[in-house]
Structure 1
Amino acid sequence: MSFKIFSLQLTGKIKSVETIENKRKQLADDYAEFLKTQNSEELKAFLALEEYVTSSEFASKRKEIEGQSFKGSEEEKQLKEFQALQKATRIKNYFKVEGSADLSRYQKEKESKKLTDFYALEEYVKDGDFEKDKKEIKSEVFKGSAEEKHLKELKKLEKSAGIKAWNELEGSEKLKQHKAFEDSDKLKQYNELKTAAVSDKEKNKAFKRLSKDSEIKNYFRFEKSKKLKLYHEISGSHNLVRYNELKEQVNTDDFKKRVAFLKDNKKFEKSEAYKKYAEYKKLAGDSVVTFVLKYEKSKLYKNYLDVKESFDLKRYNELKELIESEDYKKQKAWLEDKKRWEKTEDAQKLRLYETEKKKPEFVKYFKYKDSTDFDFFKNWDVVFEDTFKAQKLDDAKWMTSSLTASKTLGQNYAMPGDLSLLTNGKNIQTGNKLSIQVKKENTEGMVWQMPAGFVQTDFEYTSGMISTGEHFQFEDGILEAKIHFNPVKQVASSFYLANGSNVPRANLVEMGAKNILGIYTLSGKGKIASEGLEIDNLKKGAYIFSLEKSGANFTWKINELEVLKLTNNDLNKPLELNASSLVVDKLSGSSANFDVEWVKCYRKK
């Protein structure tokens, strides 16, 4: 029995659920309204208005407006400045040109092709490119040119004995017959007899006879000739390669044209440079060109250009537009009005500000603006929630079997000594709240027994459980649930956090055989050991049980009042939410309920 719980209830430190929920709802509503106001364009406008009307700038502006007059004002200075510019000769002459027929003609004709061509040709002729091109063209002559040198080199090569021999023999019938005879049987026989005749008389006679053959004689006569020797020497030589290169080069159309160009004494008159020069002279006398050139040099046009981009003209136009504007006229009248402040937009803003700051939503906003009342909403996000209002359990959030049973047998099973069988959802009821129902009814189910394994067994009771095992894992954060504390001694009803197995686990609350908050672990002998706070003295009724997890550190609260702190490294991991009822002794009645109105999990932002 816990004196701590008794004392906390006696002193009223454990507030009622109704008080807490009403306060939370009111705070949530106020926060929603606060955010709506905070993000509203109306508040943005009000804050901007407040900043302005309470600023030193606003006060100075009011003082300034109330002390204004036209005499000595900026507007009077602007009017005098405009009148002085209006009388200036440069400005007058500018407007003589602006919009005139001559300017219109000039602007049109200066963009004409004639002017474009003239300026391009003038630049060519006067900037030195023409003289350069003229000099280059006239300097190009045949004598001493690369072309002359190539022709001389070719002529010299043609006269050489080797090239002459090559030109005479290359591809000739005589050379073809000579090469063909090299592979003849007659020449082969001759060469064989020549070797054998030294020791064989008969072969010697045959050799002498064959030596007198006209084809043999002609072959060796040509083979030993100087012409053939020169042919072989020149073949593959640099001179032959160069000769062929030059021969090919000088016979091209480009080479012949180049030679003709170099020898032409009137090449300059036929050049592009001369054509451009002649066209330039022609355009220089054209009426359009002479008008544009003359107009560009006129004093009026030069003044027009000087004034066109000048500060004086820009200022003249600015002042003219300003002084002729309705705003200027109104400002002049305004400066002469003795009651000008009351008519200002700033005076209206001040009156609006005084009205706006009394709005209820703004009054409430500024009440909370610098308070810590909304810190929880600002620092925590809801990551899991169920109010169980639907008529069917949300299977996207909950399983109706343990994670271990789901992965082994595929359905719930009991452990030795259990008096009830956990059904697969049959004993779960939702609709405004979750009820895990214990019923006295005969049923069959599986029990895990060593070493036999799963064994079919009869049970007198059924119950149920829910788990987020396959859907949600609770990490660091806060778990809260509104649970009806109504212990039945023969039933262990628990809402707890675990990781796949029943133990170790952190009990948000357990009631029935034991009424406790805390942690269950397995001892070295395999027995369950508990550490925590007994809550036997807790009055029956609904409570908000909270468990905050930070790594291995756990903190329990009842109706927002901290009651317990524990540390367990084995539970420093993601944990699933579980709720179940188990019959541990025979019931005096036929049923018992474990009721949960809602559950929420928060994570720090």
Structure 2
Amino acid sequence: MATIFGIQIGSKFPSTKKYEAWLDKTQADYERFTAFENSELLRRYRELDALIHSGEFEKKVRELKTLRYKDTPQWHQLNQYKALRSSSDIKSYFKYLKSGKLERMRQIEASSSYKEYIELKNYINSTEFIAAKAHKDFKTSDAYAKFRTFKTLSKQADIKFYNSTASRQEYKTVIKLEDSERLKGFFELENTIKSQEFQDHKAFMEDRKRFEKSEEARLINEFKLLQKNEEIKWFFEKEKKNPFTDIKKWKLTFEENFDAISLDTGRWMTGYYWGKALINENYVPASEKQFFTERNIELRESMARITTRQEEARGKVWDLTMGFIPHQFNYTSGLISTGRSFRQKYGKFMAKVRFSATYPAVSAFWMAGEKITPHIDIVKTAYKKGDNIECGVYMNEGKELAKRTHKVNGATFKNEFYIYTCEWSPEAIIWKINGHEVARETKHIPNEAMYLSFCTILPEEPAAGTLPATMEIDWVRCYEAVQA
């Protein structure tokens, strides 16, 4: 970590400024990465990438670049069509068609005279007519009249033409071809070859620049342009380096940047939670010398500032024997807490904090639940000099208080901003400063939801001239672990 962010002068911890910049940039990059991951631009890139590198597409490109028209099914269709069109039977068919004889035959077939002629012809060849003809009064019968009509029709020019033509081999050949699969196939090929699609394909295949004009070339050019896109290049560089492994583990659940004009009292209480819960008033334990007031909390320059002053105030203290009793205080300070708005069991809890004084002005970023314990100190200025802080956990185990605290040195904490972090899971509590681990606890692990608190207290009378003292909170962020 230190090699990434540098070391603050006089500190073993990474630079706060660089670490915070890294946090902000990583978060911004991650939001940019996840937003772009679902973008239409990236979807199109992936779609083209898959298409262009598919075997089917590559085969099509090779064909466009190397395939001759003679190697295509369309060329073979055209060649087959030309062969059929040049064949003697089909040439004869169209010649006969052009002569008008076939059309005349169709017209005669459709005429009433020819239909009557055929009907009478069938009658005359019937047994009924033969029997009528053998009768002695045949010439006066209806059968004879039909016979006479048939003879008259037979002499008509159209019917004589029809009978003469129908008996010729040339006509029989044409009729046989007309009903054949061969002629049907010829007409199907002709329709195909005369279609615009076929003609366009022929022109395309005969064009020496056909690949450059193809849809495949257009898609390849579109893909190449996308490859040069700065946003896409940035995305794949990030994807390759995978810098978001840690950030993906966490989901933001609470954030406060103190950007408003005044403190959001819907989020933040300004006294101990138990006083608000029990008597709806502020109080402090009898051992503390200050009283908490809202006047000691201000928002300036996007920070919450808690100021501890020497001034008189009237309030209440909690005495183990006497309970809540009025008390006159000589000092005031402030406390902000999410006791009534936000609690969380397990997760990552961070704040950027600076304090101007040390013991007996004890500034702390801490967490507690419904009771005084369990209690986690994320950072506490428990020592007289400014180059030590304390973190720890307090729990009731049976009738005993389990206390595990850790003294942390290695920097001048006084008057400097640091980012203090607590990562709390069922397995461990890990304390970090500017991302650098400073303590770990694996035995005494709270298992109930807790809220956040920031405050400065005076467990002893401060020396003259040591006040006012300030605790500044730049921002607060809380996360819960993302379930795999």
Q: Distance in 2 between matches of 1:525 and 1:335?
A: 92
Aligned to 2:392: 518
Q: Which moved more, 1:457-466 or 1:24-33?
A: 24-33
Partner residue, 1:50 = 49
Give ranges in structure 2 of 5+ residues lacking alignment.
1-6, 98-102, 104-180
Structure 2: distance between partners of 1:315 and 1:455: 111
Equivalent pair of 1:419/1:461 in contact (CA under 8 Å): yes
Contact 1:422 1:463 in 2 (8 A): yes
Moved more, 369-378 or 440-449: 369-378
TM (norm. structure 2) is: 0.69
- The aligned amino acid for 2:367 is L
Q: Per residue, is there more helix in 1 or in 2?
A: 1
SS of 1:421's partner is strand
Does the Cα contact within 8 Å between 1:551 and 1:573 map onto a contact in 2?
no
Shift of 1:378: 2.4
Matching residue of 1:269: none
Rounded Cα–Cα distance in structure 1 between residues aligned with 2:333 and 2:345: 28
- Matches for 1:284-295 after TM superposition, within 5 Å: none
Q: Does residue 421 of structure 2 align to residue 562 of structure 1?
A: no
1:438 counterpart residue number: 308
Q: Residue 543 of structure 1: CA displacement?
A: 0.7
Q: 2:312 aligned with 1:427, yes or no?
A: no
Residue in 1 that maps onto 2:451:
576
Distance 1:11 1:460 in 2: 36
Instruction: Find the aligned partners of 2:28 and 2:55 in 1 and give their Cα distance.
Output: 37
Amino acid at match of 1:65: L
Match of 2:479 in 1: 602
C-alpha spacing 1:555/1:72, structure 2 compared with 1 (3 Å)? closer
Q: Is the 8 A contact 2:408 2:438 kept in 1?
A: no
Residue by residue over 1:87-136, the C-alpha shift from the partner in whole angstroms, topping out at 9 and shown as x without a partner, is 7x9xx9xxx9xxxxxxxxxxxxxxxxxxxxxxxxxxxxxxxxxxxxxxxx
**Equivalent residue number for residue 33 of structure 2:** 34
Please point out which of 221, 224, 229 is paired with 1:351: 221
Please name the residue that 2:285 is paired with.
Answer: 415
Residue from 447, 450, 468 that aligns with 2:317: 447
Secondary structure at the counterpart of residue 212 of structure 2: helix
Partners of 1:315 and 1:430 in 2: CA distance = 90
**Aligned partner letter, 1:328:** F
Deviation at 1:414, TM superposition (A): 2.1
Q: What's the RMSD between the two structures over aligned residues? A: 3.3
Paired amino acid for 2:474: E
Q: Deviations over 1:356-394 (max 9, x none)?
A: 312221221111113330123322110011011112212
Residue 317 (structure 1) shift: 9.7
Distance 2:366 2:471 in 1: 13
Contact 2:307-2:468 within 8 A present in 1 as well: yes
Specify the alignment match of 1:456 in structure 2: 326
* Aligned-partner Cα distance in 2 for 1:313–1:516: 101
Query: Where in structure 2 are the equivalents of 1:521-536 lying within 5 Å?
Result: 521=395, 529-535=403-409
Change (3 A) 1:334 1:392: same
The residue number in structure 1 matching 2:140 is: none
Residue identity in the other structure for 2:473? V
Shift in alpha-carbon separation, 1:354–1:472, aligned structure 2, 3 A = same
Query: In 2 relative to 1, CA 336–522 (structure 1 residues): closer, same or farther, beyond 3 Å?
Result: closer
Q: Please show how residues 281-430 of structure 1 align to structure 2 within 5 Å.
A: 322-423=192-293, 425-430=294-299
Higher strand share: 2
Following superposition, the deviation at residue 493 of structure 1 comes to: 1.1
The number of aligned residues is: 376
Q: By how many angstroms is 1:79 displaced?
A: 4.6
The answer for the alignment partner of 2:176 in structure 1 is none
Equivalent residue letter for 2:308: V
Moved over 6 A (4+): 8-12, 80-85, 311-321, 522-528
- Residue 261 of structure 1 is matched in structure 2 by none
SS state at 1:418 partner? coil
Aligned CA distance change for structure 1 residues 13 and 70 (closer, same or farther; 3 Å):
same
Q: CA separation in 2, counterparts of 1:322 and 1:573? A: 79
Q: 1:538 to 1:318 in 2, by over 3 A?
A: farther
How far did 1:459 drift?
0.5
467-476 or 333-342: which moved more? 333-342
Instruction: Pick which of 26-35 and 488-497 moved more.
Output: 26-35
Distance 1:13 1:329 in 2: 79
The percentage of aligned residue pairs carrying the same residue is 28
Displacement of 1:427: 1.7
The separation in 1 between residues aligned to 2:306 and 2:420, in whole angstroms, is 18
Q: CA deviation at 1:599?
A: 0.6
| Higher-Rg member (1/2) | 1
Partner of 2:469: 592
Secondary structure, in 3 states, of the residue corresponding to 1:35? helix
CA shift digits 1:491-535 (9 cap, x unpaired): 111111111233431111001546201123569998894522333
Tell me the CA shift for residue 569 of structure 1: 4.3
User: Is this contact kept in 1: 2:311–2:330, CA < 8 A?
Assistant: yes
Offset at residue 61 of structure 1 (A): 2.0
Q: CA deviation at 1:63?
A: 2.1
